[in-house]
Structure 1
Amino acid sequence: MIQVRYSSAPTSAETATTADLRDSFLVQDLFVEGEVRATYTHEDRLLVGGAVPGTGQLDLPAWTEVLGTETHLAGRELGIINVGGAGHVLVDGDKHELEHLDGLFVGRGSEVAFAGTEAAFYFVSAPAHASYPSQLLSHSEVEPVALGSSDAANERSLFRYAWGQELQTAVLQFGVTVIANGSVWNTFPPHLHPRRTEIYCYVDLAEDDRVFHFMGQPGSTRHLVVGNREAVISPPWSIHSGAGTGSYAFIWAMAGENNVYTDLSPVAVEDL
């Protein structure tokens, strides 16, 4: 199952209803046992999905009717993060074991399958002009970058899996940010990525917790109320920031014109 979302103009968010915003930017119901589900957005041609193998094995679908190729990665590269229990991913027959929040980069041209009774795999793919080697990205072995402070309620640890250094990719960048206990804000103060799209997937929320995700142009912000394992498409014209009602983490993934991680435009709080 795959959905298609079209690009939106900046002004569309200013007059949109809550339902309109959710239909355009919120991605829900990606994780269903025994299925692979995805949403394709025309924003930088990113595709996000979820695979929950259960007792079987699931192949990464080609979705030829959307991607126009016989295999999913014929012209794309892939980032995977396990948001469930232990499982493994087969890349051209080679097994890669992934624990909770472990990542995997898969280069263009590969065949991929998912397995693991307790696993739930989140993935994002982007068009790629070249092929680079696949690489396992263990969460416990990635050195986190400490950001924010407890006084500002935005203390968090940034785990950079693919970010334009160390691991070579064509355009894809992705990683995980874990919010410290007692903090609520992520990516605050906010910023813009004028040359690329970013997609957030919020994970590890309790059933009754939510994240209030802020989006829109500076001075005309809107918000989405987001639950566990739900994603938000953040176009280049939109800020992205959020506050949660409890502890959580989020997976960030980016692709576009510039693959330098620090390529961003800060937005001052007084300009919101």
Structure 2
Amino acid sequence: MKLQHNPLVRLTATMTPAELRRCYVLENLFQSGRVVLNYWETDRTVVGSAVPTGRALPLHVPDELRAQHFNDRRELGIINLGGPGRITVDGRRFTMGHLDSLYVGRGAKRVSFASRSAKVPARFYLLSYPAHTAYPTRQIKRTELAPRVLGTDEQQNHRILHQVIHAGRFPTCQLVMGFTVVQPGSKWNTMPPHTHLRRSEVYCYYGFPRGGDVKHFHGHPSRIRTLRLKEGQAVLSPPWSVHSGEGSTHYSFVWGMGGENQDYADMDPVDPKLIYRAR
């Protein structure tokens, strides 16, 4: 099968740093008292947040979706990166602690977000893809997860992987989602690096000690660029882009994918020497 050339592969390699950030980095994703949504045409991804500080915030329906309700043709994954809160889906309430998650299936009509305390608000991270059928809304508590230990201290990639929304837990249309906690003393969020042509991916970085940041490697493996990201910022990774990041300290990130398959292990390895050269 011939793969049709994507001109963004070439354009990304020649963009200025400011252009690169405008295309691929979501800078001000979490905003107090607001629902923020971003549409990315790759896999028709919606990335967003809800940070309720007063009244409950309804999940609005942007004109661009041409729908009566946000979930008319979509599924939605939510992970709480902040304080205790609550999500209400069609009158059903879900109490959401730190790093608790919720899957909202196609067909849900009313979704809203609330915090227990305005002083320590919930910070709901949202990721959505089109859905071909309806699956039930499900909550996933952090205490239910079976973490996987990956990497080693010696290779500075010791990290704890939490697979939250995936086919091994319950069926979804295409959404796969989870979070990874890089351990103190380590800095690589994946090594060796990889691409996966079958899925696009979004990383949302959080959990930095004060002043920390991460150098996210981006672009075709033959033309790698770097993007510096801080707490609460997200990066859009097209299927042809390398996936890897190096922190100035330990940190965490939410990863989420949509596309042709849901096989987490479906990756195409990239020579680590290319990453080291790009540093």
TM-score by length of 1: 0.94
| Matched residue, 2:3 | none
Q: Which residue of 239, 255, 265 corresponds with 2:258? A: 255
> For residues 170-181 of structure 1, what are the structure 2 equivalents within 5 Å?
170-181=173-184
For residue 106 of structure 2, what is the amino acid of its counterpart? R
Stretch deviating more after TM superposition (36-45 or 259-268): 259-268
RMSD: 1.3
Q: Which residue of 163, 166, 185 corresponds with 2:166? A: 163
Contact 1:206 1:228 in 2 (8 A): no
| Matched residue, 2:86 | 88
Q: Which residue of 202, 207, 211 corresponds with 1:204? A: 207
| Matched residue, 2:226 | 223
Contact 1:81 1:121 in 2 (8 A): yes
> For residues 1-272 of structure 1, what are the structure 2 equivalents within 5 Å?
9-63=8-62, 65-110=63-108, 111-116=110-115, 117=118, 118-272=121-275
Secondary structure, counterpart of 2:241 in structure 1: coil
Matched length: 265
Higher share in strand: 1
Contact 1:62 1:69 in 2 (8 A): yes
Contact 1:189 1:268 in 2 (8 A): yes
Contact 1:207 1:228 in 2 (8 A): no
TM-score by length of 2: 0.92
For residue 230 of structure 1, what is the amino acid of its counterpart? Q
C-alpha distance in structure 1 between counterparts of 2:91 and 2:233, whole Å:
30
Q: Percentage identity across aligned positions?
A: 41
Please, which runs of 5 or more residues in structure 1 have no aligned partner? 1-6
| Matched residue, 1:4 | none
C-alpha distance in structure 1 between counterparts of 2:165 and 2:35, whole Å:
23
Give 1:271 deviation, angstroms: 4.8
| Matched residue, 1:3 | none
Please, which runs of 5 or more residues in structure 2 have no aligned partner? 1-5
CA-to-aligned-CA distance 1:69-114 (integer Å, 9 cap, x gap): 1111000000000010000100111111111111111101112110
Structure 1's consecutive aligned runs of 4 or more residues displaced over 2 angstroms after TM superposition are none
Secondary structure, counterpart of 2:135 in structure 1: coil
Describe the shift of the 1:214–1:113 C-alpha distance in structure 2 as closer, same or farther (beyond 3 A).
same
